[in-house]
């Protein structure tokens, strides 16, 4: 009889999201100094305008904390640029993966360099999204 495959093993997405500090819509609105009684709707509107990265974790919309400049209460400008550059084939989850994994250009994750190496991050992302052409 074949061995049973465990069904409670976390997915790759769950394992990735477990490594990233997340905040919920209420916390994001507080960080951005937005007063509202409907934070989820506000954050969804902001995300629809490609102004923040959101992902679904355990059925809830959450935001990676790394995209926020907590000192100024804003989203790092490079995040807005990355979201504008991102092709449709790159999901928010895949973008989070790219931003939080060590990159050869930086010796650390690109998100760790937000606000300091923005031009280099954008250049590295452009190379990452460049279509592969067969020789």
* Structural domain count, the chain: 1
Q: Is residue 3's pLDDT more than 70? A: no
Q: Which domain holds residue 32?
A: 12-129
Q: Is residue 127's pLDDT more than 90? A: yes
Comparing 102 with 133, the larger pLDDT belongs to 102
Q: Is residue 8's pLDDT more than 90? A: no
* Parallel, antiparallel or unpaired: strands 74-75 and 22-24: unpaired
Tell me how far apart the alpha carbons of residues 77 and 88 are, in angstroms, rounded to a whole number: 20
Tokens 């709707």 belong to residue: 41
Comparing 10 with 104, the larger pLDDT belongs to 104
pLDDT-based confidence at 15, cuts 50/70/90?
confident
Q: Considering the domain boundaries, does residue 18 fall inside one? A: yes
Averaged pLDDT, 98-118? 96
Check residue 62 and give its pLDDT: 96
Q: Is residue 109's pLDDT more than 70? A: yes
Tell me how far apart the alpha carbons of residues 58 and 111 are, in angstroms, rounded to a whole number: 23
Lowest average pLDDT, out of 4-13, 29-38, 79-88, 97-106, goes to 4-13
CA-nearest of 14, 39, 13, 26 to 91 is 13
Please report the beta strands in 4-123, taking only residues with DSSP state E, as ranges in sequence order: 22-24, 55-57, 60-64, 68-69, 74-75
Tell me how far apart the alpha carbons of residues 2 and 107 are, in angstroms, rounded to a whole number: 44
Q: Considering the domain boundaries, does residue 1 fall inside one? A: no
Q: What are phi and psi of 129, to 5 degrees?
A: -90, -5
Q: Considering the domain boundaries, does residue 3 fall inside one? A: no
Averaged pLDDT, 40-51? 95
Please report the beta strands in the chain, taking only residues with DSSP state E, as ranges in sequence order: 22-24, 55-57, 60-64, 68-69, 74-75
Tokens 């905040």 belong to residue: 23
Lowest average pLDDT, out of 8-17, 34-43, 61-70, 79-88, goes to 8-17
pLDDT over 90, % of the chain: 80
């Amino acid at each position: 009889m074949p061995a049973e495959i465990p069904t409670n093993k976390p997915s790759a997405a769950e394992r990735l999201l477990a490594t990233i500090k997340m905040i919920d819509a209420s916390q994001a609105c507080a960080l951005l100094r937005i007063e509202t009684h409907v934070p989820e709707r506000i954050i969804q509107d902001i995300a629809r305008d490609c102004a923040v990265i959101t992902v679904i974790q355990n059925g809830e919309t959450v935001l990676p904390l790394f995209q926020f400049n907590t000192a100024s209460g804003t989203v790092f400008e490079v995040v807005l640029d990355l979201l504008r550059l991102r092709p449709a084939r790159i999901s928010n989850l895949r973008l989070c993966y790219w931003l939080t994994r060590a990159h050869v250009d930086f010796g650390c994750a690109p998100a760790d360099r937000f606000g300091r190496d923005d031009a280099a991050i954008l250049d590295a992302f452009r190379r990452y999204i460049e279509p592969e052409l067969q020789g």
